[in-house]
Structures are given as C-alpha cells and as structure tokens.
Amino acid sequence: MEDYFEMMEKSIPRTGVRTRFAPSPTGYMHIGNLRTALYAYLIARRSGGTFILRIEDTDQARFVGDAEDVIRKTLAECGLNYDEGPDVGGPAGPYVQSQRKDIYRRYADLLIEKGSAYRCFCTQEELSARKAGSLQGYDGHCSRLSAEEIGEKLDRGVPHVVRQRIPKTGSTTFHDAVFGEITTPNADLDDNVLLKSDGMPTYNFANVVDDHLMGITHVVRGTEYLSSTPKYNLLYSAFGWSVPEYIHCPPVMRDAQHKLSKRAGDPTFDDLISAGYLVPAVLNYVALLGWSPGGEQEIFSLKQMEEIFDISGISRSPAIFDINKLTWFNSEYIRAMTPEEFSRAAGPYIAGAVKNPALDVKKIAALVQGRCQVLSDIPGRVDFFGELGEYSPELYVNKKMKTDRAIALEALKWSRDALLELRDWSEESIKDTLLSLAASRGVKNGVVMWPVRVAVSGKEATPGGATELCDILGREESLRRIDRGIELLGGK
C-alpha cells in the first residue's frame, strides 16, 4: 500500500495556483453555481494558474442524466475554459469521482490504519435509536468495538460504512479568506460517513482526497460548507496534508429572506439565455453578486475581470439577485455591440417573428438595437414586418400631429399616389418623396409620415419611422398596406 500512496503523491501537481469547479450533476446551472465557477476561474487566471473541472457524482440517487453535459456546455458558452477535466484530461484526470472509487477506498483504509476512521456496522434502525440519545447525532458506538468484534462481523460479511473518528476534546480552527479565523469545538462535530456501504465515497471525503491529489491550492465554495470545514481539516491533519486556502462565498438571494430557487421560479443560467439575455452581460452581473472591484466602473469583459479580480473584494454579505439590474446590464451590452454582432444575435428572433426570408434581417436589426433591453423584446417589436394584423382606425388620430381620421385618409391617398410614381425604392428616395409631398400640400411632415407609419405597421409605436419601414417592406407590400389603410378609413 505504501508504494501506491507514494505513486499517488508523486503525481500531485506542485506549481502555481490551482482551483477547481466541482459541481454535482444533479440539475441545471444555477446562478450560485455559475458564480462559484467564475470566481474559481478568475482566481486561477489572475495568477496564471490552472482551472480544473471535477464532476462530483457520488450521490447517484440525485444524478440527472444530462446535467453533466449542461455543466460543460455552460462553461463553454461563458468562456470559462478549464485546463483539466472530464474531456481535457491531465496528470490525474479525467476527473469524475464515480470513476475513482478505488482511490477513495485505499485512502479510507489508510485512515483506519491510522486510527482516524473506523468501520460502522449499525443498521438504519440502530442509527435512529442511537442518534435519538445523542446531542451530536451518532454516538460513536462502533468506534468502541474490539478488533475481535470487527473481525467477526467482517467474516460474516456484515455491511458497513467507514466513519471519521472525530476527537471529542479540543477545537479545530481554520482561516477563511472572506470570514477570517473560525474555531469550532470538536465536541460539536459528528462522526460523519466517509465511505458508504456500496463503496461510494461521500462528498465530505471525496472532495478532500481529490483536492489534495489534484494539488488544489484555493477552494471556492458557498458558506453552507463553513460548518463542515473543521471535519475536512481534521482529515487533512490525519493524512498529514497541507490545507488549501478557503474562500467561502455568501449565498445569492432572491430577497432578504430567501435563497434563489428553481422551485420558486427563479431563473437558471439557461433560463436567462432563453429569455434573451446575453452571456457576457449575465457573466458580468454574476461577478458583481458579492464582489466589488472598487471604483465606479460596472461593465467588465471577462478578460478585464481576469486581470483585476481580487479575493479581497468578496463580500461577507449575501447578494440579492435583481432582474432589473441584470436587464440594465444587458441593455448596455446590446448598445455596445457592433451592428454585425447584434444582427447575428438578433437574427433568430427576427426570423422567428417575421417568417419572411425575403426581408433584410440586418436592416430590421439596425432598427431595434437601440430599442430593446433583452433579445426576447425583439419579436413583439418586429412581427408586423411578417404579417399586418388587425388594428383600429383610431390609431390614425394623433393630437400631436393634429391629425384625425379624415386628415389621415387624405394624407394616405396623397402618399399612395406619390409613391406609385416612385421607381427607385430606397429609404432615401421614399423620404424625399414624402417630405416633398408635405411641402407641396402645405402641411407639417408628421401629417404625412404618421398615417403612412400606422398603415404599414398597424402599430402606434414602431422601431423606425415610415420611410424606414417602407424601405424594408418593399414597394409592393408597402403600397398594399397603404391601400388597406385607405379602405379601413372608408376611402377607396
């Protein structure tokens, strides 16, 4: 066994900062999970270190079949490229815990030899009875079995787990980069299970062994693990291993009382992207949920965050997820996109709403880029390009333009006749024609433009004015819609 451990120890990477994102494949990527991955990634990149993906699938009862694919896909979409992991490999990879059962068993046996762990043969009924009479949970009954009693049970094949032997006196102290020094009396700690009866390790054991064997220097995780950290440190001490630096992050909350929860309808990463939020905007906002870079700047690219991220900026206070703030971030990112970038992002939303491949998606995108906060705003703003719905003739009444239905009817007739003569159908020529028409009739531009815009869109508010809409719709469709407007107003 010594040769085995010597071999494992020699394989441990010993240089630079090494962080890991170690999710359980039990669901989809929640905002808190994404933030943990992001912080671990940024700590590694800021120092030129290594970022690892480890799939902690030891809880097979909660395993979700496609969750691992979602994890990898999300990291890829966000640009959080890991250096070692299930599909990258590495000195000790691939890192999927269910494939490393033999490693954990050997280290559990070593702990038993050292007297820091013991075999527990208690049935569920016995455990319930013993926990009921103990303030600390399990009362450690099997830790007091003699070697003969243990041997006899093993000979009979009695199922057992392996438990950590927690000292009953003294205390355990550790330092956290966010919360400082924390001390816990050992008497408050339970002899938790390290290895289950089926040979599968618990999270409490596997993550300690793997963090050591993978040379993890900085452990980023949620504050829910603060109470378990003393147990982890006692394992490190039992093995004679050095302890990594801990960075425990407060939770992301829906409000002051409730954590984000998919069950309560709070969005996952995929939900946000499906709702039309941009990946860089989500990543930027998530980074600021509990971390302050200092100064007034709020908009940061991933590359900028890699350069400035500092652990000292992580707050001790829970962060409140504000969808309105995220929406503001998203609108800022949309406005900062080049026309080509926005057209690519908006294209599927426009095509799905318009369903007319003959229309120019780039021109439509140019109209809505400055008028939407999330990409899902687009369909409701551009659907009229595909099909003109029913609308009320009262839309033509505009007090600001000083138009009523009669004036609008006359203006539409003028516009139809003028546009019928137009051969060069472009936004510029349409605009020149309608402005000249208004001048020749001695009316304000809006008296002509407003009825045309209503006629071709059927809406009170549109992305773009009458001439831009007519240009995109084309000559035949624009004139057809103007004729329909004339009929709706009682004309011929």
Which residues are known catalytic residues?
Answer: 262
- Work out the widest C-alpha separation in the chain, in whole angstroms: 111
100 is written with which tokens?
């490393």
Pairing of strands 218-222, 245-249: parallel
Orientation of helix 203-213 relative to helix 101-114, angle to 10°: 100
Upstream peptide bond of 94 is cis (omega within 30 degrees of 0) = yes
* Single-letter amino acid code for the residue at 266: D
- Strand pairing partners for 225? none
Closest CA to 46 of 277, 241, 217: 217
Strands (E), 277-321: 319-320
Q: Which helix (H) or strand (E) holds 207?
A: helix 203-213
275 is written with which tokens?
């709702």
What's the length of the chain? 492
The pair phi, psi for residue 208, each rounded to 5°, is: -70, -50
Measured from the Cβ of residue 370, the count of other Cβ atoms closer than 10 Å reads 11
- With beta carbons less than 8 A apart as the criterion, state whether 247 and 178 touch: yes
Q: Is 256 exposed, middle or buried (0-12, 13-18, 19+ CB in 10 A)?
A: exposed
Between the alpha carbon of residue 384 and those of residues 116, 210, 328, the distances in Å are 72, 57, 26
- 3-class secondary-structure state, position 243: coil
71 is written with which tokens?
């994890």
Sheet holding 161-164, edge to edge: 117-120, 161-164, 193-195
